[in-house]
Amino acid sequence: MLAVPKNPKSQAPAEKDPKRGKPRLAFVVAEFHREIADAMIAAARAEAATLGASVSETVELPGCYETPLVVEALLKKRKVDAVVVLGFIERGETLHGEVMGHVVHRALVEASLRANKPVGLGIIGPGATPAQAEVRKVPSARAAVRAAVRSFEALARIGNGSKRR
């Protein structure tokens, strides 16, 4: 079970940007598999546009392992309502990718809970093959954006969303 301390400063209702009406997203992208990352960024941007959400910034990092620290920093920004993480953890010959994937996923959930802001998870794997990633790259990226936007809207609706700092 995740034991994450609640931050009383982040318990105020969410405020939608009056000019946009939808959340302001940041993307964090693991670029280790460049072609897959580029396709995921394009798909995520298209989905954000479809939903009327804006993308305030995109941060590219070497791999998925580096994403939690940057996600945590972005979640603290007033002008970021939700973060979308995109990447691919390939199946390897050892358990390295699987272990790393579990650590990264847990750290991202914990960061989301601490900040009281959504994190849309668009990491393919761990344990996926390049062929599987090729098929999943667009749907995974789009689903991560939808998850972030819908979670933000749900938090705003129930009055427990992220307060813009």
Which neighbouring-strand residues pair with 59?
28
Q: Where are the beta strands (DSSP E) in 91-151?
A: 119-128
Q: Which of 134, 104, 135 is nearest to 121 (CA)?
A: 104
Q: Which of 50, 27, 2, 25 is nearest to 122 (CA)?
A: 27
Q: Is residue 16 left, alpha or beta, with left meaning phi > 0 and alpha meaning psi from -120 to 50? A: beta
Of 33, 96, 102, 105, which is the active-site residue?
Answer: 96
Q: Which of 7, 137, 144, 26 is nearest to 81 (CA)?
A: 26
Strand pairing report for 24-30 and 54-61: parallel
Q: Which tokens sit at 2?
A: 């995740």
3-state DSSP call for residue 42? Answer: helix
96 in active site: yes
Distance CA 109, CA 121 (A): 9
Q: Which residue numbers are catalytic?
A: 96
